[in-house]
Structure 1
Amino acid sequence: MTSDTTRSGVDTGRLGTALHPEAHAIVYDQYLPAGDSEDAVGEELRLISEVDRAHLVMLVECGIVDAPRAAALLDAVDGLRRDGFAPVRSRPMPRGVYLAYESWLSERLGDDVGGVLHTGRSRNDLNATTARLRGRDVYRRLLESVEGLAAVLLAKAEEHGEVTMPAYTHGQPAVPITYGHYLAGLGCAVLRAFADLLHAGMELDTNPLGAGAVGGTSVAIDTGRTSELLGFTAPAANSVDAVASRDFGLRLLSASGVLGVAVSRAARDLAAWTSEEVALLRLADDLVGSSSMMPQKRNPFLLEHIQGRATASLGAFSAAASAMATAPYTNSIAVTNEALRQVWPGLRNTTDAVTLLRLVLAGAEPDAGLMLRRAVDGHTSATYLAEQLVSSGMPFRSSHHLVGRVVLRALNASRPLADAVRDTPEVARVAPHDDIEHWLDPATVARANAYGGGPGPASRAGALAGMTAEFHGLRAEFTARRDHWAHGAVLLDAAVGRVTSR
């Protein structure tokens, strides 16, 4: 008998489920070496044709090109789009994709019709425009992954807000916090990255179309209209900058790199906490892998993929920045082709790492009892004890040394910290004699640490409320940006319909 969770080819004996399908797609699906689309030519032609549709509509509305010629061109372009650009794909492309595409339109419709397509523009501003349109999809997927990770962190921080555990410094138990408090701390970094990425992508919303080769055009085009139809917020103000700059790629890689560092550090923590020796967290079967040889293994291998991909954007940044740095500030192949070639796979790797971390955190279950025992055994309440001595008038350094000796006596005698406190009168005087164990319980101490952004309930609740409000604001900004892109597509389809129906 097989089932959805235990089925032939999946059950390894130790593991009864397949890898989570979203993780499987990232880890095992085949990608092209450069991270490009499987149909790069088709995607480039689709983007070119989208720009052409907006450009032709604008030329008609401005009275620069008559409607019948524009309608013939739009019909031909839409036909190519329906056919997957098959007639263009079969042509030789000695001067690139665009000129092969334009030549096909001119041969089919005649120079009097096909020849008007390039009125008031250049391949330079066209390429700058398609680069931003191409970036939208990669950028959207990255932001969606960050949004998903932030949502999981906030939810899990709330869920595990009372699960006491040690915070670690230098790999040693330090002070008591909660697992939810740790997740909220990671959430702070993710929300900052969300904001940074939203800011870094603002240049994607600036329309370079109309900048021509580098000096604009004398044709009285309306760049505001093409901006509206293509979902941009505004046209570029300077023609040189419009064709020279691909700064958005560097900014996105930079913000992704900062996020990747936080993601990789979190994966390191999770790798330690899911080890058999520590075992503070357990991952579900669909988030671990088996061994081909060792039947007992449950390998949290997704964490290694996270660490391997999280900072790939840093390498991509170095490569892209190096390609740009030697180019003049004008249209340049080193910038438009070679530098951007590094950007897309770098951003995709960050997206993959963030997605995998979301899956792991969503499926990780803390062992609350073991976490608390580790906090007790690590004497994580010692700092609280020293601070209580300070409150009674003792200088902190003196209390620090005194409590250190108390902890040493507890360790040497293999006794609880509470017993060592009872045996030390100058320390015991600040403790409630009837319930020292509860007073020094790490969960009690964690609740008492209500200042400085600590895990105390009021502090934690206030921080989570602020983070949640920030998250909703960032998500609303992202949603508005996506909606603006989608609205442009609707406007463009309607405008094309009006021209072709004349």
Structure 2
Amino acid sequence: MAVTGRIDGVPSEVWDEEVLAPQFAYEAEALLPHYVSIEKVLLLEYRRMGLVDPQGAAAIAGRLDELTPELIRADPRDNMSDIFFAMERHVARGATAPFAAWHVDRSRNDFQACGQLLSCRENVRAVAGDLIALGRTAAARAAELPDSPMPGYTHAQAAQTITPAFYLSALSEEILGAARRLLSAYDEIDRSPLGAGSMAGQELPWDRERMAGLLGFRQPQPHALVSVASRSWALAVASALADPAVLLSRFTTDLMTWSGAGFGFVDFPDALAGISAAMPQKRNFPVLERIRGRCSHVVGCATQLAFAQCGTPYANSVEVSKEAGRHLQAQVAALRSALRLARTALAGAVFRTDRMREACEADFLGGFTLANLLTLEAGVPWRTAQVIAGAYVRAAVAKGLTAADPDGPLLAAIAGEHGHRVPEPAALLSGAFDSDRAVRVKHSAGSTHPDAVRAMLAAQERGYREVAGQWRLREEAASVAAARVDALLAVEETAERTPASNPAGTS
């Protein structure tokens, strides 16, 4: 049986090889389960409208359940290398022929848009799980090192004393925020396009609310044209996925710097290391380069997806639905890989607290604290205290001193040049440049103080429990919807049936 009367012939070899067959293979692998779910929901609607009896619907559902990527193949002659036609062929060749009205008043436009959105939601839920796993790994590693001093950097220069726990809790906080924003994006796009038809709606009284619920959507997309023409949902998701990729790239850059020979703050086990083919003394960490490279790919896919939609008509088109849409699938794959690699790298990272402490003690990271002490304990005006502290650091460096070598007479002399007397200058310097004290001298919420970090980690864990629970609810909604559809299609289920004498399908 022909699938079209409008075109005479079959797709050309090049057209099939370059476009149709690859598209078929992708849809068979990524979208077929969702297409089957949609077909089952359509069957329930046909049954509700009295166009098929329960036994006929169950028989067709059984044929649909047989569909696998291995079973159906692109065939230019038999199905025009179109998965929609291939599915029809498979059902039609069963022992029980489909009822005459099967696929009446149907379009591939809303069908494919719905399948893409179902796949997108599934992918987003998977990404959310990866995000939460990485965030909790960062939090767990942070909890191990609450008191160890390390240099914190601004403008690529050592600035103040922090701890690995403080730094990693920042990564955890950011990832928690990304998981929440992704949840918001998920809820925003949770609208079913099914029932929109080609663009203007459908002629039979399809119950779009019911179909949306049976597919696990929160509600139908209220406008038929938006359902098939818009891919704003793809842009919303792409943006939400690019967000943690940018974040992870920045944190990975720090790990790359700190694991270099110039710092030696972070090491990784041999299982995550690489070698140089020419320089046998080297241990490289290409896993970090892979993470950052894949994060760049995630951001690039978001940009490509937006560009691919620019300048297209506001209507259903292959350019928007398939050409542009493929970037979203690539983006998800790249981000999930980067998150998995990052979690493995972070779990295996060795933080060299001895090297971090040495770096703190070799530099004058307590300059800010010294200025505060000059003001609060010696009564020196704040701006003058900043000048005195800076002049002391410059003079100490010129003398070859480190922060661990307080020179009280030097500080007293510099303060005297500015008209101020500093009591016990050596004690003041020791307090300002003590690395362990520097970790605890901060008292504001959200600071590097170990107690503040512990409080943040505790709040983050509560946040992770909350957001993970919300994601579980979305996952369960999708699973429950699928199970309900199968139950309704069972032959014994007749509660939803409208008598065949009611072909108009009124509820």
TM-score, normalised to structure 2's length?
A: 0.84
CA distance in 1, matches of 2:159, 2:183: 36
Task: Label 1:500 to 1:146 Cα distance change in 2 as closer, same or farther (>3 A).
Answer: same
Specify which of 36, 40, 49 is matched with residue 36 of structure 2.
Answer: 49
SS at the partner of 1:167? strand
1:468 to partner: Cα distance: 2.3
CA distance in 2, matches of 1:192, 1:267: 18
What root-mean-square deviation, in Å, do the aligned CA atoms of Structure 1 and Structure 2 show?
A: 2.7
CA distance in 1, matches of 2:260, 2:47: 66
The residue that corresponds to 1:342 in the other structure is: 327
Task: Label 1:87 to 1:387 Cα distance change in 2 as closer, same or farther (>3 A).
Answer: closer
Structure 1 portions without partners, runs of 5+? 1-34
CA distance in 2, matches of 1:378, 1:342: 47
Specify which of 442, 455, 461 is matched with residue 462 of structure 1.
Answer: 455
Specify which of 62, 79, 83 is matched with residue 93 of structure 1.
Answer: 79
Do the aligned residues in 2 keep the contact of 1:260 with 1:350 (CA within 8 Å)?
yes
1:304 to partner: Cα distance: 0.6
1:372 to partner: Cα distance: 1.0
Question: What does the per-residue CA deviation read over 1:277-335, in whole Å, with 9 as the maximum and x for residues that have no partner?
Answer: 21011111111112333332211111111111102122222222122222222222221
Specify which of 420, 429, 434 is matched with residue 407 of structure 2.
Answer: 420
- Matched to 2:151, the amino acid is P
SS at the partner of 1:295? coil
- Matched to 1:449, the amino acid is K
Matching of residues 137-152 of structure 1 within 5 Å: 137-152=122-137
TM-score, normalised to structure 1's length?
A: 0.85
Please say which of residues 415-424 and 431-440 is displaced more in the overlay.
Answer: 431-440
Question: What does the per-residue CA deviation read over 1:239-288, in whole Å, with 9 as the maximum and x for residues that have no partner?
Answer: 11111122222112112222211111111111111112210111111111
Task: Label 1:376 to 1:412 Cα distance change in 2 as closer, same or farther (>3 A).
Answer: same
The residue that corresponds to 1:495 in the other structure is: 488
SS at the partner of 2:284? coil
1:409 to partner: Cα distance: 2.1
Task: Label 1:310 to 1:80 Cα distance change in 2 as closer, same or farther (>3 A).
Answer: closer
The residue that corresponds to 1:215 in the other structure is: 200
Matched, 1:394 2:387: no
The residue that corresponds to 2:219 in the other structure is: 234
Matched, 1:106 2:92: yes
Do the aligned residues in 2 keep the contact of 1:88 with 1:101 (CA within 8 Å)?
no
SS at the partner of 2:312? coil
Aligned length: 466
Do the aligned residues in 2 keep the contact of 1:431 with 1:439 (CA within 8 Å)?
no
CA distance in 2, matches of 1:173, 1:384: 15
Specify which of 119, 127, 130 is matched with residue 115 of structure 2.
Answer: 130
Do the aligned residues in 1 keep the contact of 2:369 with 2:432 (CA within 8 Å)?
no
SS at the partner of 1:221? coil
Specify which of 175, 195, 218 is matched with residue 190 of structure 1.
Answer: 175
1:355 to partner: Cα distance: 1.8
- Matched to 1:236, the amino acid is Q
1:123 to partner: Cα distance: 0.7
Matched, 1:437 2:430: yes
1:59 to partner: Cα distance: 2.4
Do the aligned residues in 2 keep the contact of 1:254 with 1:313 (CA within 8 Å)?
no
- Matched to 1:117, the amino acid is W
Do the aligned residues in 1 keep the contact of 2:24 with 2:74 (CA within 8 Å)?
no
Q: What's the % identity of the aligned pairs?
A: 27
Question: What does the per-residue CA deviation read over 1:338-363, in whole Å, with 9 as the maximum and x for residues that have no partner?
Answer: 11011110222122222212211111
1:458 to partner: Cα distance: 3.4
Do the aligned residues in 1 keep the contact of 2:487 with 2:493 (CA within 8 Å)?
no
Matched, 1:472 2:472: no
Task: Label 1:222 to 1:471 Cα distance change in 2 as closer, same or farther (>3 A).
Answer: same
The residue that corresponds to 2:359 in the other structure is: 374
The residue that corresponds to 2:67 in the other structure is: 80
Do the aligned residues in 1 keep the contact of 2:75 with 2:81 (CA within 8 Å)?
no
Task: Label 1:431 to 1:486 Cα distance change in 2 as closer, same or farther (>3 A).
Answer: farther
Matching of residues 404-419 of structure 1 within 5 Å: 404-417=390-403, 418-419=405-406
- Matched to 1:72, the amino acid is A
CA distance in 1, matches of 2:402, 2:90: 84
Question: What does the per-residue CA deviation read over 1:18-38, in whole Å, with 9 as the maximum and x for residues that have no partner?
Answer: xxxxxxxxxxxxxxxxx9997
Do the aligned residues in 2 keep the contact of 1:388 with 1:430 (CA within 8 Å)?
no
The residue that corresponds to 2:5 in the other structure is: none
CA distance in 1, matches of 2:292, 2:300: 14
Task: Label 1:306 to 1:80 Cα distance change in 2 as closer, same or farther (>3 A).
Answer: closer
Matched, 1:283 2:268: yes
Please say which of residues 446-455 and 128-137 is displaced more in the overlay.
Answer: 446-455
The residue that corresponds to 1:303 in the other structure is: 288
The residue that corresponds to 2:318 in the other structure is: 333
